[in-house]
A and B are shown apart, each in its own frame.
Chain A
Amino acid sequence: MRVTLFVPCFIDSLYPNVGMSMVRVLERLGHTVEFPEDQTCCGQPPFNSGYWEEARSVARKQLVVFQNAEIILSGSGSCGAMFKVFYPELFHGLPEEAAAKAHAAKTWEFSEFLVNKLGVKDLGARFEGRATFHDGCHGLRELGTKQAPRELLQHVKGLELVEMGEAETCCGFGGTFAVKYPQISTAMAEVKCNSIRETQADYVISNDSSCLMQIGGWLNRNVGSVKCLHLAEVLASR
């Protein structure tokens, strides 16, 4: 299958290993991975801030960049939700509505794609350690992703998966919210990280790097002992 990667702007610059891990996993499964060079950002930051016209201008660009893709694969539940849920709303009643819906229909979140499109759960991965999984809210509630990442992780040899209390509670990232209301955002991070620490896990894994930026940012500043990993990085390990 030809899989077109969408690597969100911040993953491109800050977490390139997440993207490369997705490439490795897909190539091992025998798929062709392509990455259109002209992709930039899904437009979620201005969209969430209320500046929909600016978001549309960025989104229009992505509609063109990905128009020939069969599958658009996102390594972030949040950016994936932007494509899948919010593009149709953003272009509702506009000439691009059909294109936005087509774009949404072929967008997949990484773990959902592996489990529910490809039917793969065991990737032959090996990773030693005790880990807990954090559900990113956009993946969980906009896309309905809950079981897929867990099924994938349960098949990783050497990995001990433990559920944290209040796993579905938001980490407090929320995009621009994290810098517009840093005190509230940080209080939420603290609650989340305490749930993580109570599991005594060595790793916190998520399918959303934006949550991990928040969780990792708080943990590094305050604790420094739990490491953050994207699901793809674990699945690519041998």
Chain B
Amino acid sequence: MSTLAEAPRDQFQTDANRTATDDVRRLAVRRALSNYQTARNRTGATFTDWKSARSAAATIKHEAVNHLDKYLEEFERKFTARGGKVFWASNSEQARNYILELAAARGVRSIVKSKAMTGEEIHLNPALLAAGYGVVESDLGEYIQQLKGEAPYHFVFPCMHLRRDEISDLFEKELGTAKTDNPEELTMIARRVLRRAYIDADMGISGGNFIVADTGMISITENEGNARLTVGIPKIHVALIGIEKVVPCLGDLALLLPMLATAGTGQHLTGYNSMYGGPRQPGETDGPEEFHVVLLDNHRTRLLADPEQRDALHCIRCGACLNVCPIFKNIGGHTYGTTYQGPIGSVITPHFRGLQDWKHLSGASSLCGACTETCPVGIDIHHHLLRNRRNAAQEKPAPGESLVWRMFAFLMRRPALYKFASRFAPLGSLLHPLIERTALDPVRAWTNTRDFPSAPLRSFRAQFKAHQAQKAAAISQNGGAK
């Protein structure tokens, strides 16, 4: 992977060039995602009407996102009434500091963490490690990535790019275990380490899939049960959640949880679906003594302020758009260089981290629309990529490209000039082989890997004109014969 100092665009370009020709990895990713697709098609088909379900889900999220203030405050009221603490973090730094200060104040030594992309987003682990805390990721995929020292490859399937033997080698190197290609054995190795981590930890950090306003609870959905242990065993629980995850009422989850499972993993429901509404109450025998929810903005309100793309906040992070994306399948997750990979990441990252620095992700799309088609909450994903391109060019036109399009438009507004210029196409085709794939070839970005079609001698225009003349002649001949 490229260095951090590199500009995001250069890093993307370099990594994409490498990964797009990494046939082994591309095949592994396509295979994994083809299994996902089969499962998803099967589960999706059990919905009586997926389209209606999708529009109902979009309506719920639309209501929540357009009344964030109301629903988040309702959540805060109900949650704090049961002894929970809410911290409103405007940015990464505030969120990190809150957690660091809390850990310091409580004399925390070790921390166990379940899957939270918000944690990746605010670079929480490096900050905790730098402050001297031990942090162990408890989601199996995340644990593997942590051992490997790599960011998650996919925000739902963190280590989907790794083969079993690679995981076995990693465990052997980092944990000193024997080689195995048995998935159960690999899982048991991780479980032995993780069980210890739950018991040792005095703080558990989680994310959250939904914030439920009317009951003042957070919802966590998972398949391994690791989040339940992360949340339930240590004496302090901190949940770090994006503000857009709020929904108005508990009943909304009756639709959203199955949709998230279907779109995310092709399951009817994930293995464990838990609701957490506060710390241990008087008379209760388990649960954390303290429960903090950190509500993370970190520029989500910047996206909220854009009425055209606000629906990108409907995202329930199912990852379906990555799973169907032909770009993702060919370049993989790390190439994006973002917390949120794939189409939805390309839409939101420019809003979160700066349009000019991240606009290239919106450009790196064939705009095929598979993402929009699959999105369970109906986000207009691929059209937002177009809108990001427009906003970027409007804000800061690229001098060379701007000139190209001005010249293009100049030509295309002048039919006579266009017709004159297009007459040279056959000549161009005749001469093109002389310079093809050399530095002089204007279309070498194409011809390096693909043949370029050659222009026939007569354009459509010319052929149609001749055709019309022939018809007219035939009519006048017939007329003359009468």
Contact = CB atoms under 8 A, between A and B. Distances in A.
Chains A and B bind each other: yes
A142 B409 contact: no
Contacts of B20: 183-184, 186-187
A68 interface: no
Contact of A168 (B370, B406, B461): B370
A47 B386 CA distance: 8
Given A183-B21, A217-B451, A220-B451, A19 B445 contact: no
Given A172-B366, A181-B364, A51 B450 contact: no
A144 B41 CA distance: 20
Contacts of A47: 386
B450 A221 contact: yes
Contacts of B326: 169-170, 172, 188, 191
A188 to B, nearest CB: 5
Interface in A72-118: none
Contacts of B397: 51
Contact of A58 (B366, B409, B451, B455): B409
Interface in A26-56: 35, 37-41, 43, 45-52, 54-55
B449 A182 contact: yes
Given A50-B393, A181-B364, A37 B461 contact: yes
A48 B451 contact: no
B409 A174 contact: no
B149 interface: no
A214 interface: yes
A217 B390 contact: no
A49 B413 CA distance: 18
B455 A20 contact: no
A57 B409 contact: yes
B450 A218 contact: yes
B222 interface: no
A184 B327 contact: yes
Contacts of B454: 14
Given A174-B367, A216-B451, A39 B415 contact: yes
B50 interface: no
Contacts of A185: 366
Interface string A202-227: 00000000000110111011000000
A16 interface: yes
A1 interface: no
A13 B373 CA distance: 33
Contacts of B464: 19-20, 23, 35
B133 to A, nearest CB: 40
A54 B84 CA distance: 55
Contacts of A220: 450-451
Contacts of A54: 405-406, 408-409
Interface residues of A, number: 66
Contact of B425 (A13, A43, A180): A13
B83 interface: no
A48 B393 CA distance: 11
B177 interface: no
A184 B372 CA distance: 20
Nearest to A75: B460
B409 A46 contact: yes
A168 B455 CA distance: 29
A35 to B, nearest CB: 5
Contact of A50 (B394, B412, B419): B394
Most chain A CB neighbours (cut-off 10 Å) among B411, B419, B453: B453
A177 B366 contact: yes
A12 B459 contact: yes
Given A40-B418, A183-B21, A141 B467 contact: no
Contacts of B460: 7, 11-13, 15-16, 18-20, 35
A15 B450 contact: no
Most chain A CB neighbours (cut-off 10 Å) among B402, B425, B464: B464
A188 B450 CA distance: 12
A180 B461 contact: no
Most chain A CB neighbours (cut-off 10 Å) among B397, B406, B451: B451
A185 B327 CA distance: 8
Nearest to A178: B446
A46 B408 CA distance: 8
A189 interface: yes
Interface string B441-480: 0010110111111111011111110010000000000000
A184 B363 contact: no
A43 B394 contact: no
A61 B425 contact: no
A191 B394 CA distance: 35
B413 A57 contact: yes
A215 to B, nearest CB: 9
14 contacts: A14-B453, A14-B454, A16-B456, A20-B464, A46-B405, A54-B406, A169-B326, A177-B365, A178-B445, A179-B446, A184-B364, A186-B449, A218-B449, A221-B449
Interface of B: 16-17, 20-21, 26, 30, 326-327, 329-331, 363-370, 372-373, 386, 389-394, 397, 401-402, 405-406, 408-409, 411-413, 415, 418-419, 422, 425, 443, 445-446, 448-456, 458-464, 467
Given A9-B422, A184-B330, 11 more contacts: A16-B456, A23-B467, A41-B412, A61-B413, A138-B369, A169-B326, A182-B445, A183-B16, A184-B20, A187-B26, A221-B449
